[in-house]
Structure 1
Amino acid sequence: KKDYLMLLKKEADIHKDHQLNLIPPHLKSEVEWFIIAVILTSPLILIGTLMALLFSLLV
């Protein structure tokens, strides 16, 4: 389970780097924060949803 999370993080980092390379340098800092915020919140929402589903199945 831990390996899977590490893999997800690695994928997110690769995705982030790829997106940042498409952005003009003067926009980078603002957009970087936005992308980081999205990347940080998306897995949390996804994991939260999965946990809720698993919990509802167990109960």
Structure 2
Amino acid sequence: MGNFSRESSALIRHHGIHTGEKPYECNHQRIRTGVTPTNVACGKAFRCRSAFIRHQSLHAG
């Protein structure tokens, strides 16, 4: 019985992916605005802000 309940709630959550439902607020800028962080020095774009910041340090030396 416990597995059914757990699987049922997972199925409902998964169904939200297909309907476009967004039950959680996301603080990640790319998700909210659709803008990916881009390095102006080389033009490289990143999915993750943390990867973008790490890459910028390469240019800073």
TM range (shorter): 0.3 to 0.5
Q: Which has the higher helix share?
A: 1
Ranked by relative contact order (alpha carbons within 8 Å, sequence separation 6 or more), the top structure is 1
TM-score by length of 2: 0.32
TM-score using structure 1 length: 0.33
Pick the structure with greater CA Rg. 2
